Amino acid sequence: MKQYWEIFLVFFKIGAFTFGGGYAMIPLIRNEVVDKKGWLEDEEFMDMLAIAQSIPGPIALNTALFVGSKRLGFKGSLFSGAGVILPSFIVILLIALVFTQFKDNPVVERIFKGIRPAVVALIVSPLFSLGKSAGVKWKNLWIPIVVALAVWQLNISPMYIVLTAIFLGITHFIYLKKRVNK
């Protein structure tokens, strides 16, 4: 039973002290389960992260469920999932109880505006370490920058960006396939 509470506390701590959602939690999860606890190898974590991103649901929860299942089976996934969800649930509940009293307070507004850049940094930081682990070539860094600028400055819907990326990916794959077959 001690192992279940250990995995619960690891994910509770991650859920409680991470602002910015699932992508901001990734470096903390990786640090805990790969570096500190040794529950997963780095390559296995990267594979699990790819799966967690591709299935429906919050990435932090999907990651917690995978780690819990891998470590302790079904019960482990229940404990890790509860651990990562419970802090957010408690915080949202408390905010809902008191937010109406403070929503127009200029200090509260400034605090939330001040947190935004930190959240962006928490999301961007793991992208570099994950990109390095995945073997991403940094000469292609212009692609996400152009996409971000297109969404932000030109108000292009991310849906069109995704559809364009799918089309270009398929076209590139067909081109490479034809090139190999020659």
Tally of domains in the chain? 2
Q: Are residues 8 and 25 in the same domain?
A: yes
Residue 148 and residue 120 in one domain? no
Same domain as 151, residue 81? no
Give the domain range for residue 10. Answer: 2-136
C-alpha 34/C-alpha 67 separation (Å) is 10
% of the chain at pLDDT higher than 90: 29
- 115 & 61 share domain: yes
104/132 same-domain check: yes
Give me the amino acid identity at 24. A
User: Which of these three, 121, 136, 151, is where a domain ends?
Assistant: 136
What is the C-alpha separation between 47 and 153, in angstroms, rounded? 34
Taking the model in full, what pTM does it have?
0.59
Cα–Cα distance measured from residue 25 to residue 18, given in angstroms and rounded to the nearest whole number: 6
Assign 146 a pLDDT band (cuts: 50, 70, 90).
Answer: confident
| Domain's final residue, options 103, 120, 136 | 136
Mean pLDDT estimate for the chain:
85
Q: How many CB atoms lie within 10 A of CB 70?
A: 16
Question: Greater confidence, 148 or 125?
Answer: 148
Whether residue 120 is found in the same domain as residue 77: yes
Residues 84 and 98 in one domain: yes
